[in-house]
Structure 1
Amino acid sequence: MNGIVSIHLKQSTAHAVLAEHGTVLVDAGPAGSARTLLRRLGRAGVDPDGISLIVLTHCHPDHAGGAAELSRELRAPVAVHSAEVDWATTGTSRLYEPQRLFGRILRSTLNPAFPAFTPDLVLEDGATLDAYGPPLTVLHTPGHTPGSITLLHHPDGSALLGDLLTGGMLRRDRPGMPFLAQDPAQVTASVRAVLEHGPNRLLFGHGRPASATAARRLVRR
């Protein structure tokens, strides 16, 4: 089984990128969601024992909260970008400026802390993860957080953006700005950098997938 399987949790979406020789789990959901995530992966036909690496697109609690438990359960290493190693090791993060109404709600209700862990793999821009199974390239795409990354999945032209953008919640192909952003101008620059690599499908940590064409329209506005 090859390709990408998306698992929707209450607070975020995780993605399993499958290949013949290993599966990379992109994002780990919030603390306490590990059992639910593993159960839903199994129902989707993904063998949790085949997960060779857990990659976090960034270290906010809705994406990194489950990393420590999942790493213990699966005996899989966890990778984060170098700019957020300190967030991982201290179990703390920063919730930046709201960009939308839901962002204001999120910032007022979300606890920025999560179970701390020590990353096994520290990522930099341009790193490749082929050794773990699927051919994935890491792009450093700050703007939402300092260490936000995008993963390019070469076989099908997908890009996994984490929270660099959000997908449409009700309508298809309607990406929007992230709920929170450290630097909105940097978000736009990072999205443009992703689009230069020619992806045809964008996957997010929240909301529905979108086309590259829709993302281009967004950053032009």
Structure 2
Amino acid sequence: MKITTGFHVYSKDVPFRSCLLRGFSCNVFAMTQGHETWLVDAGSGLVGRPRKIVASMQEEGLDPSSITRILLTHAHPDHAGGIGYFSHKCNPAICIHESEEASLKGGTKHLWESEAIAARGKINDFYPAPMWLVHSFARYSIGNTPSVSNIKLLKDRETIKGHEHDVVVIHTPGHIPGHACYYVPDAKIAFIGDLIDPSFDRKASLNFPSSDYDQICHSIQVMRELDIEFLCAAHASDVIHGASKIRDLFTGTLEVLRNARETTLAMLKERGPMRLKEFAGHYPKDTWRLQDQVCVPFAVIKSLEKEGRVKAENGRYRLIETGIS
């Protein structure tokens, strides 16, 4: 589907149906660069997802053999699983932020690379099932990130020169440490991956044990300062159009994050030492669902620990009163 001149979007999947039938994926975006085509993310590699992208491109008059670059927002398999298919077909440069290089080679394991971090809050609070079962379901539903050789590592604020559009790399950690967004200044279009999921109510993607509250707040503030007319998120149903609407989304998401911090602090003050799973259900369910209800307070607690305001004791977290809100 055309977004604006030279930019297209493909492949949004229905989450639960996709997981049950395999191939949970993300939106894949294409931009024309003269005789070349660049993709942002590649989607899942399962059950013919890449072939569906190719078919959609051909329907819109784009030649899949012209793909010369794939700009990955990060290496999770629902974003990078399709790179094996495209590498075999047209050998594009696989571009990713330099801090995500090791994760690009880690496949599904990357989803739980922070098991040591998760263990601090009792890992079963995050995944109420044996880890072998969690890994098996992930491999079934979203697959792995395949190994490829044509990798180009990107730096924060690097400009990738194109025949029609230059693309600026913006390192936006928070969802995971190596996450990046891509901004096209002349078209005023931004590809934000999993920074925010507008399908929910102003949801910042703090849905892994390694997610970082302070980093994602800063990343959203960085993106809010850009002049954006088209906001392209990995799991949104639609591209968001309009600078004021986009800025309101960023501002509202920061407000939701602040509210999550206040909720966490209030619960610790009222209830005393708590386990992570005891926080679940106390955050707005229209925004934070399932695993978010544990990962969000954990991200907030890690931030409070850095401030010296929370201390872990025997699997519980205790507030250290300082008079600071």
Unaligned 5+ runs, structure 2: 14-24, 119-125, 241-245, 257-325
Is the 1:9–1:37 contact (alpha carbons within 8 Å) kept by the matching residues of 2? no
Matches within 5 A, 1:169-184: 175-178=202-205, 180-181=207-208, 182-184=211-213
Q: Deviations for 1:71-97, whole angstroms, at most 9, x for unmatched residues? A: 121221111111111122343412478
Q: In the alignment, what sits opposite 2:251?
A: 216
Q: In the alignment, what sits opposite 1:129?
A: 160
* Residues 23, 209 of structure 1: alpha-carbon distance in 2 compared, 3 angstrom cutoff: same
More helix, by proportion: 2
User: For 2:223 and 2:254, how far apart are their aligned partners in 1?
Assistant: 12
- Alignment of 1:110 with 2:141, yes or no, is no
Work out which of the residue numbers 49, 53, 56 in structure 2 matches 1:40.
56
* Residues 179, 74 of structure 1: alpha-carbon distance in 2 compared, 3 angstrom cutoff: farther
| Residue 104 of structure 1: how far off its partner (Å) | 7.5
State the aligned residue count.
211
Residue 28 of structure 1 aligns to a residue whose secondary structure is: coil
User: For 1:71 and 1:195, how far apart are their aligned partners in 2?
Assistant: 34
Q: In the alignment, what sits opposite 2:229?
A: 200
Code of the residue aligned with 1:113 in structure 2: it is N
| Residue 219 of structure 1: how far off its partner (Å) | 1.2
Matches within 5 A, 1:14-163: 14-32=28-46, 33-91=49-107, 92-95=109-112, 108=134, 109-111=137-139, 113-131=144-162, 133-163=164-194
RCO (CA 8 Å, sep 6+): is it higher in 1 or 2? 1
Percent of residue pairs identical: 24
RMSD of aligned C-alpha atoms? 2.6
User: For 2:67 and 2:165, how far apart are their aligned partners in 1?
Assistant: 11
User: For 2:203 and 2:196, how far apart are their aligned partners in 1?
Assistant: 6
* Residues 132, 142 of structure 1: alpha-carbon distance in 2 compared, 3 angstrom cutoff: farther
| Residue 23 of structure 1: how far off its partner (Å) | 1.9
User: For 2:164 and 2:101, how far apart are their aligned partners in 1?
Assistant: 24
Code of the residue aligned with 1:25 in structure 2: it is L
Is the 1:21–1:133 contact (alpha carbons within 8 Å) kept by the matching residues of 2? no
- The structure with the largest alpha-carbon Rg is 2
Q: In the alignment, what sits opposite 1:187?
A: 216
Unaligned 5+ runs, structure 1: 98-102
Residues 134-143 or 205-214, more deviating: 205-214
Code of the residue aligned with 2:180 in structure 1: it is I
| Residue 179 of structure 1: how far off its partner (Å) | 6.0
Give the TM-score normalised by structure 2.
Answer: 0.59
Residue 74 of structure 2 aligns to a residue whose secondary structure is: coil
Give the TM-score normalised by structure 1.
Answer: 0.84
User: For 1:42 and 1:134, how far apart are their aligned partners in 2?
Assistant: 22
* Residues 133, 24 of structure 1: alpha-carbon distance in 2 compared, 3 angstrom cutoff: farther
Is the 2:105–2:145 contact (alpha carbons within 8 Å) kept by the matching residues of 1? no
